[in-house]
Structure 1
Amino acid sequence: MAMIEQFRLYADYNRLMNARQYAAVAQLPDSELRGDRGAFFGSVLGTLNHLLVGDILWLKRFASHPASASALSPVIEMRKPVALNEILFDDLAMLRDHRVALDALIVAWLAGLTDGDLGDALAYESMSRGHFRKPIASLISHFFLHQVHHRGQITTLLSQAGVDFGETDLVEIIDDCPI
């Protein structure tokens, strides 16, 4: 499987897991959604917001690459978050709507990239650690792994609140090979 095909699989997985996660989170009482649960970003709502913040920041960086600029133009118009713990949306329905739109954008962006685009480097500025220039393919891997990391935290918080998230394995959406 070509690397871009792998990233497209991750984008589909990401969209599916986010949809399932928001459906599971919607079952929580408000106190469980907003209460500080000791996670990196405090609450379930705080962690969901952090995922959106991180995605917006990375997609803005990816949009600076010529092969990504057109597909990611809606992200360029978005306000840049000012902190990793910023609460962009205090309302779960609004947060979910933005998540769904961003996930569709991620899928469309990767549909337009080629393996050749993945060989380039991307120069960017971190919020706190300076300037970097790193391989795009590695940064896209980081982008998806960051989401998996924090979704795993939310899955744990859901479990602690008595909500069963269900299947989370990527293997669920990997096609079978012919015999």
Structure 2
Amino acid sequence: MFDSFRTLARWTGWANQRIYSACSELDPTEYFRPRACAFGSIHRTLNHLLATDRIWLARLTGEPHNIPSLDYEVCVDFSSLRDARFVEDVRIVETTDLILDKDGCAGNLSFNSMDGTPRQMPIHLVLSQLFLHHAHHRGQVHALLSQTAVTPPALDLTYFPGAAG
């Protein structure tokens, strides 16, 4: 069952490439435009995903991160955000594979939440959180794109070539 996480890791990168490709068609005014959404714009929503990935991957690998808040703007422009997204998507696949190859999601992850509260969570739920969180916020960006002239891309797992058994 946990091998599904390998597919979800790769689907996440594929879906991110598709959403970033669509966003690249926006002029900067539309891309940065304030919108009624949790993080205030397409740009800030995509930044949130990058920031939270860095937090969760740091927790999973034991490495430090420099993300001070969930709304931290990691990259101020689209180009650098897209480049950083690609690197992070590779890290998601590598980290997921390492976890699955090592112990198949056995055990718990101990970490401090962003407010410093000690927490513990089963590793399989941490990976679930990572992929569900992506689907949630990518869906928000998808909806925000529908308010522009750019057609949002199909992102469902059923369209992902790697999902075919």
TM-score under structure 2 normalisation?
0.92
Q: What is the 5 A alignment of 1:1-179?
A: 2-3=1-2, 5-64=3-62, 76=63, 79-114=65-100, 116-128=103-115, 130-173=117-160, 174-176=163-165
For residues 82 and 129 of structure 1, what CA distance do their matches in structure 2 show?
11
RCO (CA 8 Å, sep 6+): is it higher in 1 or 2? Answer: 2
* 152-161 or 122-131, larger mean C-alpha shift: 122-131
Aligned partner letter, 1:49: N
User: 5+ unaligned residues in a row in structure 2: which ranges?
Assistant: none
Number of matched pairs: 162
For residues 148 and 129 of structure 1, what CA distance do their matches in structure 2 show?
26
Q: What secondary structure, in the 3-state scheme, does the structure 2 residue paired with 1:134 have?
A: strand
TM-superposed CA distance for 1:171, in Å, is 1.4
TM-superposed CA distance for 1:175, in Å, is 1.1
Aligned partner letter, 2:46: L
For residues 124 and 97 of structure 2, what CA distance do their matches in structure 1 show?
14
8 Å contact from structure 2 (residues 142, 153) kept in 1 = no
1:128-178 deviation per Cα after TM superposition (whole angstroms, max 9, x unaligned)? 2711111000111011101110000000000111211221110123214xx
1:75-118 deviation per Cα after TM superposition (whole angstroms, max 9, x unaligned)? x36x4111111111111110111100110111112222337341
User: 5+ unaligned residues in a row in structure 1: which ranges?
Assistant: 65-75
Q: Identity percentage over the alignment?
A: 33
